[in-house]
Amino acid sequence: MSNSVKEGTIFTIPERCRKCYTCVRECPVKAIRVIDGQAKVINDRCIACGNCVKVCSRKAKQVLDSIEHCRALLSLEKPAVAIVAPSAAAEFHDIDREQFVGMLRALGFSRANEVAFGADLVASKYHDLLHQPRSDKKQWIATTCPAVINFVEKYYPEQIDSLAPIVSPMIATARVVRDIVGQDISVVFIGPCTAKKCEGLDEDLEGEIDCVLTFVELRQMLAEDGIDPEHVERIEFDKPWGGTGSLFPIGGGLLQAAEINEDLMAEDVVSINDRVHFVEALKEFDNGNLKVRLLEVLACEGCIMGAGMTIKGSQFIRRHMVGKYARNRMTKMDLAQWKQDVENYKKLDLSRKYRPKDQREENPGEDVINMILAEMGKFSKEDELNCGACGYETCREHALAIFQNLAESEMCLPYTIGELEKAVRELEQSNNKLSTIQEALMHAERLASMGQLAAGIAHEINNPLGVILMYAHLMQENAGLDNKAMEDATMIASQADRCKKIVAGLLNFARENKVMKISTDMNALVDEALRLVQVPYDTKVIIRRCKDNPNAEVDGDQIVQVLTNLISNALAAMKHDGKLEIEVSGTPDKVKISVKDNGHGIPKENMNKLFEPFFTTKQLGKGTGLGLSVTYGIVKMHSGDIRVESNADPDEGPTGTTFSVILPRHGSKDANSNQLLG
């Protein structure tokens, strides 16, 4: 795995990155550098928490792929051992435990062990650490989360001595397995955490872990080899089995497994598990304001919410799955033997060391920050809107990022709007008759204004919405058999989710304001769009490709978004046994893509409202009404045209809708200068 360090654990696919700055906003350490609109991960600064991977809707952020390396290990003569994170109980909740182990054996692993047992050992070590004599005033930071270790080593290196000198459950399990089998084996960790890939590459832990797979990668390997649970031998996990360590992937699971109480009055222990507050907690710990003996902190909402998970469902549903697995495990296992195993293997060396990897930078003086702000038209505190559209909490943080070469001034929407207004005024004063260019600039100005508004809304309401969602889910969890309480809590959660989707859709609509045209195969764009949507098994798809010349000068990513929106709408309009027809045709000057469905059709009274923002006929919570607005804007920015034919009255003939997108083959030509395709 050593050659992969230079590539970084998380990296950007440039052609997918679309200037939304969501990854910048969600990165707790701002390890993203924006250059020419491309948001690239800075490997040295990154703590590999995976937040950018989870929030990137375009999948521009990808995790280092270890499948090829794992297959190479499996091909060797020496045994390969799989050690599986306890969050597998949520990821593979629909597969029996013995079937799951059988699938691992079918891949070529010689044995499979539960990391939950390593968690039991680690929990025991923390129990001993916290039950040392009270005269010991030492404060500790728990080290079960590799992203937190990365954070301390890189941004609070003076607190390295506060990191508990105890290995993670992954390393503890690896040491147990090597003690049982011997050193001449390959150990492959399988779990939900992207930061585990960093831990596997840590030079202080060399030789412990040979490869780290996420659940995403494991599912891909199983699919590639055609392995399914119904056709494998049923095999139990190899001993020793895990016990209460199965709770580790849940926030506070370490404390319960170690029988440590988070007593709010005693303030001996504090448990934090979310992206924002873990940074604040470590800052207060460093300042000496957090007087606790143990700070148990995770860089996310628990391992069950890691970027390497594939399942859908809320945090509370996943917690339920893990808790259910742990309860079943503890009721069926030999508890006396388990306790004896823990005592026996506690004698292993479960310690580790840490080293500073300082990534802090000196901040410039106020005069430098003020000069950068002035270049963006911010001359006073009143000019600092702190709208958050750039991905930074405040304008001053954005200015500091510009100084550190992490950001660009163009990321500031108010600044961009001002530049657009200046360009429009110059065009008006010079009496420029190029109406097409002026219209495009005015359109971009309107989009940017909407983007500023949307960003401001997102900045102001996303945090309270998150609190509403959290308490709604807690209400659901505590509702029990109270159907009315469950119904109310579900309504609150669904409506809050709908608000978040509306804000996200509005941001997406407002920021499509630049077209990068290159010669592109339109047939290939249709194929890519179909891969991005989930077509029901009973829907018949017919594709008629352009055989003569399918190429046109377009922004491929934006046209894929157009096709994805049209195809998704077509699928939503059809019930069972639908028929989706997509045709690509062309003339010497134009290319036409038609998307036809046999759904319920569009009523005549709605035809004139289709491309208006927020207009939708979908059920409450099923759509924001921005998809066709985005589509219309993209087509117009390509100097193209979009047409709709629809019938919603069965008495007038077969129902259904056809959207036709007509685009010029060459970007320099005006779509209105030639006769449009019929």
Residue 678 has pLDDT above 50, yes or no: no
**What pLDDT sits at residue 18?**
83
- Answer whether 233's CB lies under 8 Å from 105's CB: yes
**What pLDDT sits at residue 450?**
57
Residue 301 has pLDDT above 60, yes or no: yes
Please give the residue that has the higher pLDDT: either 241 or 263: 241
**What pLDDT sits at residue 457?**
64
Tokens of 444: 């971009």
* Cα–chain center distance at 51: 6
Alpha helices of 113-238 — where are they, by DSSP H? 115-130, 146-155, 169-181, 195-201, 215-224
Tokens of 314: 């809320």
Mean pLDDT of 298-318: 90
Residue 337 has pLDDT above 90, yes or no: yes
- Answer whether 121's CB lies under 8 Å from 285's CB: no
Instruction: For residue 657, list its beta bridge partners.
Output: 597, 646
* Cα–chain center distance at 365: 35
Helix-strand-coil percent breakdown of the chain, rounded to 5?
A: 50, 15, 40
Mean pLDDT of 257-286: 79
Mean pLDDT of 657-666: 93
Percent of the chain exceeding pLDDT 70 equals 86
Residue 272 has pLDDT above 80, yes or no: yes
DSSP state string for 334-346: -HHHHHHHHHHHT
In tens, the pLDDT along 488-530 reads 888 888 777 767 666 665 555 554 456 788 999 999 999 999 9
Residue 438 has pLDDT above 80, yes or no: no
- Answer whether 150's CB lies under 8 Å from 354's CB: no
- Answer whether 331's CB lies under 8 Å from 321's CB: no
Least confident of 39-43, 278-282, 444-448, 613-617: 444-448
What single DSSP character describes residue 673?
S
- Answer whether 351's CB lies under 8 Å from 166's CB: yes
Least confident of 173-177, 213-217, 422-426, 667-671: 667-671
Mean pLDDT of 587-608: 90
**What pLDDT sits at residue 612?**
67
With cut-offs at 50, 70 and 90, classify the pLDDT of residue 459. low
Mean pLDDT of 479-491: 81
**What pLDDT sits at residue 5?**
35
Residue 116 has pLDDT above 90, yes or no: yes
**What pLDDT sits at residue 676?**
34
**Cα separation values, 238 from 323, 422, 666, Å:** 21, 70, 63
Mean pLDDT of 312-332: 89
Please give the residue that has the higher pLDDT: either 575 or 10: 10
What single DSSP character describes residue 363?
P
Nearby residues of 268 by Cβ (< 8 Å), 6 or more positions away: 130, 292, 293, 294
Mean pLDDT of 427-446: 59
- Ranges of beta strands (E only) in 491-632 are 518-521, 540-544, 551-554, 579-586, 590-597
Please state, in angstroms and rounded to a whole number, the distance separating the CA atoms of residues 359 and 282.
Answer: 16
**What pLDDT sits at residue 436?**
54
- Answer whether 243's CB lies under 8 Å from 118's CB: no
- Cis bond leading into 603, ω under 30°? no
**What pLDDT sits at residue 625?**
58
Average pLDDT, the chain: 85
**What pLDDT sits at residue 427?**
75
Mean pLDDT of 145-154: 96
- Answer whether 510's CB lies under 8 Å from 447's CB: yes
Residue 669 has pLDDT above 50, yes or no: no
Instruction: For residue 595, list its beta bridge partners.
Output: 582, 659
In tens, the pLDDT along 421-431 reads 888 777 777 65
**What pLDDT sits at residue 430?**
66
**Cα separation values, 641 from 214, 594, 632, 677, Å:** 44, 12, 8, 10
Residue 136 has pLDDT above 80, yes or no: no
Mean pLDDT of 226-247: 94
Instruction: Pick the most confident of 81-85, 338-342, 605-609.
Output: 81-85
CB environment 507-540: b (16+ within 10 A), e (fewer): bbbbbbbebebeebbbbebbeebbeeeeeeeebe
With cut-offs at 50, 70 and 90, classify the pLDDT of residue 226. very high
Percent of the chain exceeding pLDDT 90 equals 54
What single DSSP character describes residue 240?
S
* Domains observed in the chain: 1-64 (3.30.70.20), 67-302+314-345 (no CATH), 363-407 (no CATH), 435-511 (1.10.287), 518-664 (3.30.565.10)
In tens, the pLDDT along 601-660 reads 998 888 877 776 655 666 544 555 567 877 887 888 888 999 999 999 988 889 999 999
**What pLDDT sits at residue 460?**
66
